[in-house]
């Protein structure tokens, strides 16, 4: 089974260029037109997959705390 | 959702599973948040025993459970609330098939101090397209961008 590795500096540079300067007719341009913030994708790609998961866990925990506070107040 | 705790628990219990859904998308670079752990699991008897034993300490209980009480062996999807968050168990993934089919579209990712199986990007996109909900189709646009950006 293949492994999902963090992007190498070269891969990251290429991905950033593609995301920040979308080619006309590309999927990236289409996503941009749909309102997807491509700069956020660049920030995510700078992280390792493990860091992305950790960030998600922190955000999810924070969200659940807010939901808990809201539930207690209602 | 305590993703780390849940994933480590399942891995350490030797449950055969593949991480799918929002966490898989996050591994690949998606910015969409989720607070549900989605996994596809093998329905072999031994795996069902490991899965139920692993989750038991977290007091899993069904969310919106239908009448008739299907079991892990014959029900395709279980949406659970547990002490460590919401966990969705899927024996089959729309557009891909059973655990064995899903495994063919998976890769290994190192996260939460474990090496776990998760969807590869084409498999994830295929599953999202097949799911067909508005949210999934919106996710596809982002995932297609990530695929295009990461191509050689």
In this predicted model, what pLDDT tens digit does every residue of B11-48 receive, in sequence order?
Answer: 999 999 999 999 999 999 999 989 899 999 999 999 99
ipTM: 0.90
Lowest mean pLDDT among A40-44, A63-67, B41-45, B81-85: A63-67
Distance from CA of A74 to the nearest CA of B (A): 21
Q: How many Cβ pairs closer than 8 A exist between chain A and B? A: 111
CA dist., res. B126 & res. B94, Å (int): 9
Q: What is the pLDDT of residues B84-116, one digit of tens each?
A: 999 999 999 999 999 999 999 999 999 999 999
The token pair at B80 is 């659970």
Q: What's the confidence (pLDDT) of residue B50? A: 97
Beta-carbon contacts of residue B90 (< 8 Å; ≥ 6 apart):
B20, B38, B39, B40, B41, B76, B77, B78
A27 CB neighbours in chain B (<8 A) are 141, 144-145, 147-148
Residue A68: what pLDDT?
A: 76
């Amino acid at each position: 089974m293949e492994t999902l590795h963090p992007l190498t500096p070269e891969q990251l540079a290429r991905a950033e260029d593609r995301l920040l300067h979308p080619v006309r007719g590309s999927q990236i341009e289409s996503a941009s037109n749909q309102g997807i913030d491509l700069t956020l994708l660049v920030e995510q790609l700078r992280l390792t997959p493990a860091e992305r998961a950790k960030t998600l866990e922190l955000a999810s925990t924070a969200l659940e705390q807010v939901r808990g506070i809201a539930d207690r107040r209602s | 959702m305590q993703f780390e705790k849940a994933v480590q628990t399942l891995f350490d219990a030797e449950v055969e599973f593949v991480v799918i859904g929002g966490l898989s998308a996050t591994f690949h670079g998606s910015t969409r948040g989720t607070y549900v752990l989605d996994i596809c699991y093998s329905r072999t008897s031994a795996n069902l025993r490991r899965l139920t034993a692993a989750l038991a300490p977290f007091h899993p209980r069904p969310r919106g459970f239908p009448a008739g009480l299907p079991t892990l062996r014959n029900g395709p999807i279980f949406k659970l609330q547990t002490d460590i968050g919401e966990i969705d168990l899927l024996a089959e993934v729309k557009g891909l098939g059973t655990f064995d089919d899903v495994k063919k579209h998976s890769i290994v990712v190192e996260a939460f101090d474990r090496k776990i199986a998760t969807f590869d990007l084409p498999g994830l996109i295929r599953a999202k397209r097949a799911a067909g909900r508005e949210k999934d189709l919106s996710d596809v646009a982002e995932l297609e961008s990530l695929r295009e950006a990461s191509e050689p």
